[in-house]
Amino acid sequence: MRCRAPTLLVLLLAVAWLGCGPRGAPEPGASQPTLSTDPSGRSVELAVEVTTAPVRRGSILERVSAPGSLHARRESHIGAEVSGRIQQVFVNDGDRVQAGAPLFQIDRGPYEMALRQAEAMLDVARAERAQIEADLARGNELRRSDIVAAEQLERLRTQVAVAKAHERQAAEGVALARHHLEQTLVVAPFGGSVAQRLVDEGTTALVQPQTIAIVLQETDQLEAEANIPESQLSTVRVGDTAFVHVEGLPQPIQTEVSAVSDTIDPQARTYRVRMLVPNPEHVLKAGIFARIDILPSAKPDVMLVPRSAVRSEEGANRVLVVRDGRAESVSVRLGVVSESDAEVLSGLEADSAVIVGSAAREIAPGMPVRVVVESGSPPS
């Protein structure tokens, strides 16, 4: 009787398992094997039911996501080209101005006097040039009567040339003085918003070192910036569609990649990507954080498997295929990976089929399997 006890126990367990009926039967794709007994009473492992999907060719689109921030497309720290006391500041923080709008005024008095002095010097130079030209004309007449020596005429001609040079120099002095006077009124180089007003009336503006009076930002159009991992170096291209997600906005802002840096940050191992973000209502502020999604162009006619078929083991990507009734692990090299598919660069043949679903991640290589449903095909 002692010899029959183990066999009887196995039979009772098998009857109890069968008595569970259809409710205990594993669903297709289940990863747990079941046990049964052969006629001799030995325990045997039943095949796990799995679902497979064929390797196919198609196109794949990878979404690249990265944190980013918005910056002013242009930002100028505006000072004066001439020194002097600031008489009036026309703007305050937050003001929006058009290109050419006045920002601040430097005292014109000293530059008006300098202009008048330069104009007087020009008058003197013109008078001197006219006097020497008249002397030369009289000398030419006297020369015909041999009253004036040729050497004296040559000196007069030289003096006329020098006088003309002095006149041109004086004229340039007038132009420079007028330019300095014009520069006492500082205007906006482009339309934008005043980010900072740094001076008040009475401040003495210097040229060297330059006194920064106004910080002006272009805010009608901002620039989003994100750092993309080096591993996706060949993914993002100028012109790719991008979506900028900003907290507080109900919908992302659609734009496109406008610039891709050619330089990799040696510390972070990332490269910089920029895109323009319209801001006509000035809802967005420079410096705000954003999440940026970039949709590169799809790669056409590549070998694809469902993403659910891929498992990572010891730093390598693998899939399970069915060979001789058992699950066999195959190492694969992947390219682009999307939310639903993975591009296979090597490791699989075009006519292969891979196990998908939970079984692809849970069952061990070498386990007996039985394909019950092929993904995309009606059950057999």
Q: Give the tens place of pLDDT for each residue, 231-285.
A: 777 678 899 999 999 998 999 999 999 999 989 999 989 999 999 999 988 889 8
Res. 5: pLDDT tops 80: no
312 and 282 belong to one structural domain: no
Domain contains 122: yes
* Residues of the domain holding 137: 109-182
325 and 267 belong to one structural domain: no
Domain contains 144: yes
Domain contains 176: yes
259 and 274 belong to one structural domain: yes
Domain contains 33: no
Domain contains 277: yes
Domain contains 167: yes
Query: Highest mean pLDDT: which of 114-118, 345-349, 365-369?
Result: 114-118
Q: Give the end of a domain, one of 276, 299, 322.
A: 299
pLDDT tens column, 191-225:
999 999 999 999 999 998 999 999 999 988 999 99
What CATH number should be reported for the domain holding residue 355?
Answer: 2.40.420.20
Domain contains 323: yes
Mean pLDDT, rounded, for 92-103: 95
314 and 352 belong to one structural domain: yes
Res. 110: pLDDT tops 90: yes
Identify the band that residue 22 occupies on the pLDDT scale cut at 50, 70 and 90.
very low
What CATH number should be reported for the domain holding residue 116?
Answer: 1.10.287
Mean pLDDT, rounded, for 358-371: 88
What whole-number percentage of the chain has pLDDT above 90? 51
294 and 353 belong to one structural domain: no
335 and 310 belong to one structural domain: yes
177 and 227 belong to one structural domain: no
Identify the band that residue 102 occupies on the pLDDT scale cut at 50, 70 and 90.
very high
pTM here is 0.60
Res. 108: pLDDT tops 90: yes
Give the total number of structural domains in the chain.
Answer: 3
Domain contains 328: yes
- How many whole angstroms separate alpha carbon 337 and alpha carbon 62? 6
286 and 311 belong to one structural domain: no
What CATH number should be reported for the domain holding residue 255?
Answer: 2.40.30.170
288 and 227 belong to one structural domain: yes
